[in-house]
Amino acid sequence: MQPVDFTTLTAACSELRAHWLPSRLEQVYQRDRYTIAVALRTLKQRDWLEISWHPQATRICIGDPPPRLPDTFTFSQQLVHQLGGLALVGIEAIAPWERVVDLQFARRPGESPLYHIYVEVMGKYSNAILTDDSKMIITAAHQVGQHQSSVRPIQTGQPYEIPPKLTGPVPSLHESPERWQERVSLVPGAIKRQLLKSYSGLSAALVESMLLAANLAPETTTDHLKPEDWQQLFTKWQEWLQALETTKFQPAWTANGYTVMGWGAVAPEKDIQTLLNKYYTDQLNQQVFAQLRHQLSQKLQNILVKLRNKAQTFTERLQQSDQADEYREKADLLMAHLHNWQPGMKEITLSDFETGKPIAIALQPDKNAVQNAQRLYKQHQKLKRARAAVEPLLFEVQSEISYLEQVEDAISQIKNYQTAEDLQALEEIRDELIGQKYLEDPGYRSRSVNETAITNFHRYRTPNNFEVLIGRNNRQNDQLSFRVAGDYDLWFHAQEIPGSHVLLRLEPGSVPEPTDLQFVANLAAYYSRARQSDQVPIVYTQPKHVYKPKGAKPGIAIYKQEQILWGQPQLAINH
């Protein structure tokens, strides 16, 4: 993940100064253990300033509104208590080339600041610290005790010490090209490494983009650079320092990340706030998505292995109970031929009543014929009782397996993170599994099931432009089938195969063509567990014929008056 360097921080703060000074602080909401969102209002606009001290994604930029859920963090509550209703009157760097921003709050514009939030953008040492006007620490996102740092402890009630000063030379617009080249080439080495070693205030991402903009490979050694190479590189160096001086930047997307200098741009972005918010939101969402998908897949796999073993055990017990009638028949035979029994017999062979075939009956030699027959009758009764007990247990386990296979299939369809909706669909699955007691609630806040109506279904259009909606998980399947579906729509599902609920939206009086129905059937096949098959049986019916059994798990539905089409999942991929 690309870290926010001094250049990016300068660019972000210059934009914030231009648009958000002065502004009134209305609210503070802590999204997670690393991020707060501060509601700011000016005469023209209101938005959320995001301040994050995440070890990989420290940033300060205008972000998205927070979710409508309770904020249970004390850090944000302390900020609201001290800063509520005050004005943000200053956004200043604490010293040249330092990645620490001083957000200054006063009663009104023009007055001296009463409080400061120091945002330290320093990788895994990043922090957000609230102090009063005498720089006494009121609260900090990360408390740093004496045992962690004797150089710079950060504790409530202690004075705020700024980070140690930079020791290396800092870049200057007034440095001559000769002096600059001499400093960088003093010790021969790769030009990227030499630039980073020679000056403070640079980042690997900035240097790499600067070198590529000057048509130089980062690993080119300084003693292999020609005079024109040095000249091109110095021109870019000056261009960078000029941008810092004038605060004129060019936010853009690059092949591997972003730039505020316009170098290596593949697509421009309207402003730095949007650029940073999009980049870090997506990067962090990708991390959460990968971890959550792995966690859910592993958990389901483990549960399903246990359930399938249980189902196998129950099936074997039922197969044993199929022998119940054999025990009764043998007992009947023995009772009918008591005269053939001899004391001490371990086995007796008798002819079957109907077929006449010889049947060998194992006997216990210490029991007489009647006692042996009674033992066989008891065995018969025991196996019959076992069947009555095991059958409902097997049905229950098979229902559970069927439900979890449907969940597993939903996860398999959300393969990669592309938009925030992909992460949301996974989070809904996690919340569902917590609700069904398959996962423990870890205590972090998740989206409330009833918080908002779901809108992130898969959406398609049939050849005749009818809308098709497809659920991405069981919660969405239920929403689609029992809330969204209208009287004139058609409901599709793979027949007796785990898969998504699919809805063909129809207006009153509109009739879908066979090509529309086939199109939807292909989609229903593709969004099912049988997507690798050539053909999949798909049922469709009106939503009024789709029911949820009482007490059924999410995503489970029964239907009647259905018709069948054969869906071809491979054809759906091309649409």
* CATH number for the domain that contains residue 56: 2.30.310.10
Where does a domain end: 405, 426, 449? 449
| Distance between CA atoms of residues 123 and 36, nearest Å | 17
Cα 363 from chain centroid (whole Å):
64
**Same structural domain, 219 and 331:** no
Identify whether 231 is part of a domain: yes
What is the reported pLDDT for 451? 44
Instruction: State whether 431 and 478 are in the same domain.
Output: no
Q: How many CB atoms lie within 10 A of CB 451?
A: 10
Judgement on whether residues 47 and 89 belong to the same structural domain of the protein: yes
User: Taking the chain, what is the end-to-end CA distance rounded to the nearest angstrom?
Assistant: 34
Phi-psi region of 97 (alpha: psi -120 to 50; beta: other; left: phi over 0): left
What DSSP designation does 264 have? T
250 belongs to a structural domain = yes
| pLDDT of the residue at 446 | 47
Picking from 107, 85, 6, the residue whose alpha carbon sits closest to that of residue 38 is 85
Quick check: helix, strand or coil at residue 101? strand
Is 532 a domain residue?
yes
Q: What is the CATH number of the domain that holds 389?
A: 1.10.287
* Structure tokens that stand for 545 in this block: 């014929």
Which amino acid would we find at residue 208? E
Rounded distance between C-alpha atoms, residue 487 and residue 484, angstroms: 10
Q: Vertex 376, ends 372 and 379: CA angle to 5°?
A: 140
Examine residue 323 and state whether it is found in any structural domain, yes or no. Answer: yes
Q: Which two tokens stand for residue 549?
A: 């059994």
CA separation, residue 438 to residues 395, 410, 427, 511, 560 (Å): 19, 16, 14, 43, 31
What is residue 449's predicted lDDT score, i.e. its pLDDT?
43
- Asked whether 236 and 205 are in contact (CB, 8 A), the reply is no
C-beta separation of 497 from 541 below 8 A? no
Closest CA to 416 of 292, 298, 524: 292
Q: Mean pLDDT in runs of 10 for the chain (575 residues)? A: 95 97 96 94 96 95 92 92 95 93 95 96 93 95 67 84 85 94 93 94 94 94 93 96 96 94 95 97 95 95 96 87 80 89 90 87 91 89 82 91 92 92 93 91 52 74 95 93 94 94 93 95 95 95 94 90 95 74
Say how many CA atoms lie within 13 Å of 164 toward its Cβ: 8
Domain boundary, last residue among 269, 301, 331:
269
| Residue in 96, 67, 264, 101 with CA at minimum distance from that of residue 169 | 96
Same domain, 471 and 444: no
* Rounded-to-integer distance, Cα 521 and Cα 538, Å: 6
Q: What is the CA radius of gyration of the chain?
A: 36
Residues 420 and 299 in one domain: yes
Q: Tell me whether the omega of the peptide bond preceding residue 169 falls within 30 degrees of 0, making it cis.
A: no
- Residue 78 host element (H or E): helix 74-83
Q: Are residues 104 and 207 in the same domain?
A: no
Is 483 in the same domain as 563?
yes
Q: Which two tokens stand for residue 526?
A: 């593709």
Domain boundary among 431, 449, 467: 449
In whole angstroms, give the CA distance from residue 554 to residue 431.
11
* Residues 361 and 215 occupy one common structural domain: no
The reply to whether 81 falls in a domain is: yes
Q: Within a domain: residue 547?
A: yes
Question: The domain containing residue 203 runs over which residues?
Answer: 177-269
The model carries a pTM of: 0.77
pLDDT for position 441: 76
Q: Is there a contact between 313 and 389 (Cβ–Cβ < 8 Å)?
A: no
Q: Residue 263 domain-assigned?
A: yes
Q: Is 488 a domain residue?
A: yes
CA distance 323 to 330: 11
Report strand pairing: 137-140 vs 127-132: antiparallel
User: Do 419 and 476 belong to one domain?
Assistant: no
Q: Give the count of domains, the chain.
A: 4
For residues 462 and 445, membership in a common domain is answered with no
Same domain membership, residue 363 and residue 215: no
Sequence-distant (≥ 6) Cβ neighbours of residue 554 within 8 angstroms: 432, 435, 436, 474, 475, 477, 478
Instruction: Note the pLDDT of residue 448.
Output: 44
> 303 with 237, same domain?
no
The CA–CA distances, whole Å, from 125 to 1, 38, 56, 156, 289 equal 16, 22, 10, 17, 25
C-alpha to C-alpha distance for 505 and 73, rounded to whole angstroms: 44
